[in-house]
Amino acid sequence: GMKVERLKRRFDEMAQIGATERGGVHRLALSDLDREARDLWTHWSEEAGFKVRVDDFGNMFARLEGNFPEKKPIVLGSHLDSVPKGGKFDGTLGVLVGFEIIESLQEKAEDLSCPLEVAVFTNEEGARFPTPMLGSGAITGVFSKQHVYDMQDDDGKRFEDELKRIGYQGEEKNRLKEVEAFIELHIEQGPLLEAREKPVGVVKGIQGLSWHRVQFIGESDHAGTTPLEHRKDPLLSAVKAISRINNWIHRLEDETLVTFGKFDTLPGSINVIPSEAVFSLDIRHPDHSVLLDRVETVKHLIREVALEDDTQSLCEDLSFMPPVAFDESLIDTLRESCRANEIDYLEMFSGAGHDAMYIDRLGKTVMIFTPSQAGKSHCEEEETDWEDIEKALRVMHDNVARLALT
């Protein structure tokens, strides 16, 4: 049967790999610590008698075969990598809950209508190799193999070299292909479940996002000798553009989110008017056409400022991920599992991207969220109550049983 103590014990053991002083984890993709985490997970899987396979991007799958190996599998799982000084729940919880469930269903292997798998995807965070959900995107054709293999971290180390170095370059034939269902449990990473006092989120989809690099180019000059009216200051253009975009977004009063995470100047000297100001732009909305519309308006506002200031502007597109709507029947089954277990839930969209966003291309997909204390994530303070985790585990177990047990 299902054992929350076993889950908790494994969770604590995994949280020691890359543990930080203040209770988080620092476990970047394809690092030595990532290898340690992978080794531990592989050891547990083999110990429990599951077949483990590794694909050519280092994605790993533990499989409970059952009597219908030819059927498409139901897959659970998430990722084991973290952002720098991140939290111990992000990704890991989904992997270990999935593992607990297939382990607990092992005794019913004879009754399974299809194989069950637990997946661990590579470089979900995009923190080391700078594209999130790289492993799941690679096997679903979003990124080419060469592109992924040639990606470099900040020290110029290649993805392929690091994958080989830690011993997790598997074979192409081991990739996940079609799935009967992919069910990803993840922490919410936002404040909604806590605010509404719901232990579980039934996730109906993931909002879309558009990433850009905005550059203003002006004329570098001496801070002490250049009269204000002689200046073409790209920093002031960037500041004006950010103000204007931000004011516009606030006036909209809808779900649009815009974030400016990076801002930098060149040459970056205290007494030199910059020649360039560069900032990043993260725009999100749950509706595809609204998102495209928001991107257009933002680009328009940027060009407008450059024209007014006689500076030059450039808005480079970095990534676009359209919103994903999860499978209606899976959402329905999840609602039933909540109700059957008398567990209160919130129907919601995910603000953050997850591997489910890409794995959705291989079959029906849904996600379950657990609450994040104070909405905190991607930091050492990230926390989720074990009471809530236990509820999510029950819902997930019920859900898989409904889908897989004949």
In the complex with ligand URP, the residue whose CB is nearer, 16 or 259, is 259
Q: How far apart are CA 353 and CA 258, in angstroms?
A: 15
Q: What's the chain's length in residues?
A: 406
Total Cβ atoms within 10 A of residue 336: 14
Q: How far apart are CA 37 and CA 10, in angstroms?
A: 11
Output the smallest distance, CB 126 to ligand URP, in A. 6
Shortest CA distance to 315 belongs to which of 323, 324, 303, 325?
303
Q: Which of 50, 57, 211, 345 forms a contact with a second copy (CB under 8 A)?
A: 211
Stretch that binds a second copy, among 7-15, 142-150, 196-204, 370-378 (CB under 8 A): 370-378
Q: How far apart are CA 348 and CA 203, in angstroms?
A: 5
CB contact at 8 A, 42 and 52: yes
Binding of residue 43 to a second copy (CB under 8 A)? no
Binding of residue 271 to ligand URP (CB under 6 A)? yes
Binding of residue 28 to a second copy (CB under 8 A)? no
Binding of residue 132 to ligand URP (CB under 6 A)? yes
Q: How far apart are CA 240 and CA 262, in angstroms?
A: 16
Binding of residue 261 to ligand URP (CB under 6 A)? no
Output the smallest distance, CB 271 to ligand URP, in A. 3
Output the smallest distance, CB 288 to ligand URP, in A. 16
Binding of residue 290 to a second copy (CB under 8 A)? no
Binding of residue 352 to ligand URP (CB under 6 A)? yes
Q: Which helix (H) or strand (E) holds 396?
A: helix 386-404
In the complex with a second copy, the residue whose CB is nearer, 240 or 391, is 240
Stretch that binds ligand URP, among 247-255, 291-299, 300-308, 350-358 (CB under 6 A): 350-358
Binding of residue 1 to ligand URP (CB under 6 A)? no
104 to each of 72, 98, 193, 321, 366, how far by Cα in Å? 20, 10, 28, 35, 21
DSSP 73: P
Q: Which amino acid is at 198?
A: K
In the complex with ligand URP, the residue whose CB is nearer, 132 or 135, is 132
Q: Which of 94, 234, 286, 353 forms a contact with ligand URP (CB under 6 A)?
A: 353
Tell me the backbone φ, ψ of residue 337, rounded to 5 degrees: -60, -40
102 to each of 24, 226, 393, 396, how far by Cα in Å? 27, 69, 12, 11
Q: How far apart are CA 109 and CA 32, in angstroms?
A: 35
In the complex with a second copy, the residue whose CB is nearer, 149 or 260, is 260
Q: Is cis: bond before 69, omega within 30 of 0?
A: no
Contact string (CB under 8 A) for a second copy, positions 215-244, x = contact: -----xxxxxxxxx-x--x-xx--xx-xx-
Query: Which residues would be at the binding site for ligand URP (CB under 6 A)?
Result: 126, 132, 224, 271, 352-354
Query: Which residues would be at the binding site for a second copy (CB under 8 A)?
Result: 83-84, 126-127, 132, 188-191, 207, 209, 211, 220-228, 230, 233, 235-236, 239-240, 242-243, 246, 249-250, 257, 259-265, 267-274, 277, 280, 282, 284, 318, 350-353, 375-379
